[in-house]
Amino acid sequence: MSDINISNSTQKIMVIEDNCITLCQLQDYLGEHGYRTIPCKHCEEAMTLLEEVTPDLIILDIIMPDVDGYEFCKWLRSHSRLKLVPIIFLTAKTSLEDKLEGFQTGGDDYITKPFAVEELLARVQAILNRVRNYYSISMKDELTGAYNRRYLKERMEEELYRVRRTGRPFSIVVMDIDLFKNINDNYGHYVGDSVLVEFVSFLQARLRKSDLIARMGGDEFLVLLPDTTSGKAYFLVERLRQALEGMWFHHGENGIAAQNQVTISAGIACCPEHGDSADILFTLADRALYNAKKSGRNATRIAALTGEEMLRQI
Please say if the pLDDT value at position 135 is more than 50: yes
Per the omega criterion (within 30 degrees of 0), is the bond before 272 cis? yes
Q: Are residues 284 and 171 in the same domain?
A: yes
Residue 172 resides in a domain: yes
User: What SS3 state is found at 25?
Assistant: helix
Residue 18 resides in a domain: yes
Q: In this predicted structure, what is the pLDDT of residue 215? A: 97
pLDDT class of 69 with cuts at 50, 70, 90: very high
- Between residues 138 and 145, the one the model is more confident about: 145
Residue 2 resides in a domain: no
Please say if the pLDDT value at position 183 is more than 90: yes
Residue 285 resides in a domain: yes
Q: In this predicted structure, what is the pLDDT of residue 2? A: 47
Q: In this predicted structure, what is the pLDDT of residue 4? A: 44
In this predicted structure, which of 28-32, 50-54, 105-109 has the lowest mean pLDDT? 50-54
pLDDT class of 305 with cuts at 50, 70, 90: low
Q: Are residues 277 and 183 in the same domain?
A: yes
What is the domain range of residue 215? 149-313
Residue 234 resides in a domain: yes
Q: What one-character DSSP code corresponds to residue 114?
A: S
Average pLDDT over residues 195-220: 95
Q: In this predicted structure, what is the pLDDT of residue 52? A: 80
Q: In this predicted structure, what is the pLDDT of residue 308? A: 52
Average pLDDT over residues 217-242: 96
Q: Are residues 180 and 300 in the same domain?
A: yes
Average pLDDT over residues 16-21: 95
Please say if the pLDDT value at position 78 is more than 80: yes
Q: How far is CA 83 from the centre of its chain?
A: 14
Domain total of the chain: 2
Please say if the pLDDT value at position 217 is more than 70: yes
CB proximity list for 171: less than 8 A, separation 6 or greater: 224, 225, 228, 229, 230, 232, 233, 268, 269, 270, 271
Average pLDDT over residues 1-24: 76
**Among 114, 137, 160, which residue terminates a domain?**
137
Q: What one-character DSSP code corresponds to residue 7?
A: S
Please say if the pLDDT value at position 1 is more than 50: no
Q: Are residues 102 and 154 in the same domain?
A: no
Q: Are residues 178 and 115 in the same domain?
A: no
Q: Are residues 176 and 301 in the same domain?
A: yes
Please say if the pLDDT value at position 241 is more than 70: yes
Q: In this predicted structure, what is the pLDDT of residue 84? A: 87
Q: In this predicted structure, what is the pLDDT of residue 311? A: 44
**Among 83, 111, 137, which residue terminates a domain?**
137
- Work out whether strand 264-271 and strand 87-91 pair parallel, antiparallel, or are unpaired: unpaired
Q: Are residues 122 and 162 in the same domain?
A: no
In this predicted structure, which of 8-12, 18-22, 80-84, 113-117 has the lowest mean pLDDT? 8-12
CATH number at residue 168: 3.30.70.270
**Among 77, 109, 137, which residue terminates a domain?**
137
Q: Are residues 19 and 75 in the same domain?
A: yes
CB neighbour class for 275 (10 Å; exposed up to 12, middle 13-18, buried from 19): buried
Kindly report whether the global pTM for this prediction surpasses the value 0.95.
no
Q: Are residues 304 and 183 in the same domain?
A: yes
| Averaged pLDDT score across all residues of the chain | 90
- Between residues 10 and 17, the one the model is more confident about: 17
AA letter at 20? C
pLDDT class of 47 with cuts at 50, 70, 90: very high
Residue 12's DSSP bridge partners are 36
Q: Are residues 172 and 253 in the same domain?
A: yes
Average pLDDT over residues 73-83: 89
Residue 217's DSSP bridge partners are 220
AA letter at 12? K
CATH number at residue 30: 3.40.50.2300
pLDDT class of 117 with cuts at 50, 70, 90: very high
